[in-house]
Structures are given as C-alpha cells and as structure tokens.
Structure 1
Amino acid sequence: MKRVTRLAAASALAVFGIGSALAFNPGPPPYVYFDLNGDGYVSQQEFEEVRAQRRAERAQLGYPMRNLNRPSPFQMMDQDGDGYISATEMDSYRAQMRANRWGNSPNVPGPCPRGWRNQ
C-alpha cells in the first residue's frame, strides 16, 4: 500500500510540475522577432507590424486585450532618434521597464511586494 501511495504522489508531482512549466510566461519576444528584413535594425513599420500580429494572435487565443489605446513605445525605445531600434536600445528600454516595476520608479512610491527584491 505504501508503494501505491508513493507512486501516486510521485505521479501527481510530475503532472503538476509539467503544468507549471507549460504555464511559464516566456517574456517578451527577442529582438530578432521584430527584425523582419534581417538588416540588424527594427524600423517603426516592422515594429508596428509585429505588434499588430502579436495582438491579433493573443486576441484569437482569448487573452484579455488591455492597454490597446496605449501609444506605441517605439519612440521611447529609439533613444538616438534615428528612426530605427537597435538591439542595444531595445535591451536598454526593457531593463528600464523592469527597473520601474513594483515601486522602483521614482514616479511610483512604495516598496516591492513581499518576496521581491529591490534591485
């Protein structure tokens, strides 16, 4: 009987572990996902095309469609104002957004939620 109980417990843990792995949010798409023509830079047209495609895919999958009226972050990513986003610019923007989460922004007072570390 002990063996059956242990086997059942191990099976349950395996199933829940697989479910957790499948539910993991992979985060934002990599830079190359946006660089449609492969020239090493992302134009505003490429960026908006990928953004629209991702929104359509997410809507079809039933994801909640929040912030649809939010302006495109392209201008904020294009730090040198040349009309293209480099991989460095995108990485810098994403790092800044991560740093501004959970009260780390100078515009948002308060500490990180319990279990999270201020960096």
Structure 2
Amino acid sequence: MKRTLLIAVLVITGTLMASQGMQRPSFADFDKNADGKISPQEFEQTRQERMKKMAEAGRMMRHVGNAPQFGDIDTNHDGYLERNEFQKHRQQCRQRRGQGMGMGRNRY
C-alpha cells in the first residue's frame, strides 16, 4: 500500500512539474505595458525573464538557437506584434510540433 501511494505521489508531482514548465507565455505576459501590442523591447525582456527562470530551475533550454526572432512573427512589419500575429505564430508552432509525432506516423 505504501509503495502504491509513493508511486502515485511521484507520478502526480512529475505531471504537475512538467505541466508548469510547458506553459508558454501568453500575449499578456509579453505585453508588459498592456497597450495591446508587443514592442521589440517587451518581446526581448519577456524572453530573457523566461530563460532566467528556466535556468534557475535547472531546466534545459533546448532549441534556444532556433527560437523565432521578433521579425519572424511581425508579419506586417510595423515594428510591433499585434494579438493576431502572436496567435497565428502560436498556431503555426503547434501545427509544426504535431507533424511527424505519434505512434507509427511517418515511420517509413
């Protein structure tokens, strides 16, 4: 009984820790001054804060070199990220992550 309880606690703790680390910052997290758009400075500040937090937690920062740059997301090139640009980028990222994943998919 004690062994089962210990295993359950470890599984739940691991799941909670993983879910906390997997959360990506929201539009509001980036939009520091709440003006409805993200400036390059806000974008970089939020990115640096997130990287610092992950490093302090001892988490690996995989693929940092592949992270999109501000200009990759600013599709209308006005120097700011609007909510629709931010959401479109997130959707594209989710779609890319979903490709090729899963049991047996794209194996041959």
Could you tell me the TM-score, scaled by structure 1's length? 0.69
The code of the aligned residue for 1:31 comes to: F
Deviation, 1:69, is 3.7
CA distance in 2, matches of 1:72, 1:91: 14
1:86 pairs, out of 79, 82, 105, with 82
**1:114 corresponds to:** 103
Across the aligned residues of Structure 1 and Structure 2, the Cα RMSD in angstroms comes to 2.6
The aligned counterpart of 1:30 is: 26
Q: Distance in 2 between matches of 1:12 and 1:115?
A: 33
**Alignment counterpart, residue 96 of structure 1, candidates 92, 97, 105:** 92
Q: How many residue pairs align between the two structures?
A: 103
Q: Is structure 2 residue 53 aligned with structure 1 residue 76?
A: no
Larger Rg: 1
Q: Which sections of structure 1, spanning at least 5 residues, go unmatched?
A: 105-110
Task: Indicate whether 1:39 and 2:35 are aligned.
Answer: yes
SS across alignment from 1:56? helix
Greater share of helix residues, 1 or 2? Answer: 2
Report the residue type matching 2:41 in the other structure. Q
- Give the distance between the partners of 2:67 and 2:14, measured in 1 at CA: 33
Alignment gaps of 5+ in structure 2: none
Alpha carbons of structure 1 residues 72 and 96: separation in structure 2 relative to 1, 3 Å: closer
Quick one: higher RCO (CA 8 Å, sep 6+), 1 or 2?
2
Identity of aligned residues (%): 31
